[in-house]
A = this chain, B = another copy of it.
Amino acid sequence: MLLDKDRLFPTDPAVRNLARSLYDDICDLPIISPHGHTDPRWFAENKPFSDPAQLLVTPDHYVFRMLHSQGIPLEAMGVPREDGGKTEQDPRKIWRLFAENYYLFRATPSRIWVDHVLQEVFGIYKPLSAETADEIYDHIDNCLTQDAFRPRALFEQFNIEAISTTESAIDDLKWHKLIQQSGWGGKVVTAYRPDAVIDPEFDGFADNVQKLGEMAGEDTTTWQGYLAAHRNRRAFFKSFGSTSSDHGHPTARTENFDPSVAANLFDKALRGECSADEADAFRGHMLTEMARMSLDDGLVLQIHPGAARNHSDAIFTKFGRDKGYDIPSRTDYVNALKPLLNAVGGEPDLTIIVFTLDESSYARELAPLAGVYPALKLGPPWWFHDSYEGMMRFREMATETAGFYNTVGFNDDTRAFCSIPARHDVARRVDSAFLATLVATGRLAENDAREVSYDLAYRLAKQAYRL
């Protein structure tokens, strides 16, 4: 067995029994995955996944960054180079490298996710290591040729009730169209991610804005036309099930400028003349514009701030974005969110979900803010904090001030499709452990705990994201 059946539960036998009992009630609930980065093409084409390395190693930044931290070049794991330079092409070699170094993942969430995938998806019960590498490779490779392991079959096996992918505002959503037209019953929706047309520092910003205009049939050389184009695209995204927009800015800064100030900044941005501060201000103002549009069209606004992206110039030059070199940084919320919250934070029909990579803000800033502003809710622990300790710290630091009902359940935020059940299972176990501890220490009645447990595992995500 790779997985302990009582994993992540408290060690005290009585509390463990209670945690298990809470967990047993909710472990088979359908998965609501309201925020993530799976590829809609998988579900549109429903082709088999190519090989074990492509499925579990090469595209997973948690995995390749850890191997890389011990001196293994990204090329050796098949991570593609921007300059087209040579990288390892043999999936079996990549898999062996992963297997030999699998000890590096001891006590990391990646280890739990991968073990879960091996055991629960592929029926493997031996630990991965240099010795078992080939045998496990062959086993998975063989599975991938079977229909039961195609994307749609796995989707159904995973008991996913609804999943959201994330697409750029200037994506044509052709894979979503194909899914819609296919008649397949799986609920795969999109989310509106406009960073490329909102961030003046984004590669090709002006061209992106022009393309936005073309797609929307609006004149995006003017501020009003630009806003109209956003409205148009949001409606288009909604026609593919979208219930949310998503924004990944370097800071949590928001602004609420007069229209003339905003229009001026927009003109400067289009001309490529924004200073770094003006670019940040423009991004911040656009969050408030997005929130105002949300008041009309009902999309949930998600703010994911605080990553210092592409920390290594050398890696960025050679491999491009999203190569494990994004590092969390200290993030202010109290001052940063004030303009947005003053503009729309009192609206009970608006939902703004904020995430953080800076845990020092949970108890100090985020829980107090979410514990009073009607529009504000706290997203679950995110990215580096999507783990046993990370989730436990979130509950311990946020719950006393924000309660459970200003949070929105779990989301997996992943591109690693097979890990989705693993991640939701971790969240359900950690919440069961937390709730059982509350009951055992007289802080929550057991029947209340059962209700909260259901809410955290299923209802809150469905409700907050309107899925």
Chain B residues in 8 Å Cβ range of A388:
400, 441, 443
* A106 in complex: contacting residue of B328, B338, B365, B448, CB < 8 Å: B448
> In the complex, are the beta carbons of B348 and A107 less than 8 A apart?
no
Q: How far is the CA of A440 from the CA of B8 in the complex (A)?
A: 9
Asked if A342 meets B371 with Cβ closer than 8 Å, knowing A12-B12, A364-B357, A444-B107, the reply is no
Q: How far is the CA of A15 from the CA of B9 in the complex (A)?
A: 13
Q: With an 8 A cutoff between CB atoms, is A397 at the interface?
A: yes
Q: With an 8 A cutoff between CB atoms, is A145 at the interface?
A: no
* A348 in complex: contacting residue of B71, B324, B399, CB < 8 Å: B71
**Closest partner residue, chain B, to A324 (CB atom):** B372
* A69 in complex: contacting residue of B105, B332, B370, B396, CB < 8 Å: B370
Chain B residues in 8 Å Cβ range of A106:
403-404, 444, 448, 452
Q: Which of A359-410 contact B (CB under 8 A)?
A: 359-360, 363-365, 367-374, 376, 384-385, 387-390, 396-397, 399-406
Q: Which of A295-332 contact B (CB under 8 A)?
A: 308, 311-315, 324-325, 327-330, 332
Asked if A66 meets B441 with Cβ closer than 8 Å, knowing A328-B368, A342-B313, A364-B359, the reply is no
**Closest partner residue, chain B, to A400 (CB atom):** B387
Q: How far is the CA of A329 from the CA of B361 in the complex (A)?
A: 9
> In the complex, are the beta carbons of A4 and B357 less than 8 A apart?
no
Q: With an 8 A cutoff between CB atoms, is A442 at the interface?
A: yes
Q: How many identical chains are in the complex?
A: 3
Q: With an 8 A cutoff between CB atoms, is A225 at the interface?
A: no
> In the complex, are the beta carbons of B404 and A107 less than 8 A apart?
yes
* A346 in complex: contacting residue of B109, B314, B324, B358, CB < 8 Å: B314
Q: With an 8 A cutoff between CB atoms, is A153 at the interface?
A: no
| Chain A 330-346 near chain B by CB (<8 Å), digits 1 or 0 | 10101100100110011
Q: From residue A282, how far is it (CB to closest CB) to chain B in Å?
A: 22
Q: With an 8 A cutoff between CB atoms, is A416 at the interface?
A: no
Q: Which of A117-147 contact B (CB under 8 A)?
A: 127
Q: With an 8 A cutoff between CB atoms, is A187 at the interface?
A: no
> In the complex, are the beta carbons of A442 and B6 less than 8 A apart?
yes
**Closest partner residue, chain B, to A311 (CB atom):** B338
Chain B residues in 8 Å Cβ range of A371:
65-66, 69
**Closest partner residue, chain B, to A452 (CB atom):** B106
**Closest partner residue, chain B, to A361 (CB atom):** B330
> In the complex, are the beta carbons of A364 and B397 less than 8 A apart?
no
> In the complex, are the beta carbons of A8 and B71 less than 8 A apart?
no
* A68 in complex: contacting residue of B313, B342, B357, B374, CB < 8 Å: B374
**Closest partner residue, chain B, to A395 (CB atom):** B107
A-B contact pairs, 23 of them (CB 8 A): A6-B442, A7-B443, A11-B14, A66-B403, A69-B372, A69-B406, A104-B405, A106-B444, A107-B403, A107-B404, A127-B445, A308-B334, A311-B334, A313-B342, A327-B334, A329-B364, A357-B364, A359-B360, A359-B364, A367-B384, A384-B401, A389-B396, A389-B400
| New contact pairs (10) apart from A69-B403, A71-B348, A329-B334, CB-CB < 8 Å | A11-B441, A12-B12, A69-B402, A109-B400, A308-B334, A311-B341, A325-B372, A330-B332, A363-B384, A390-B400
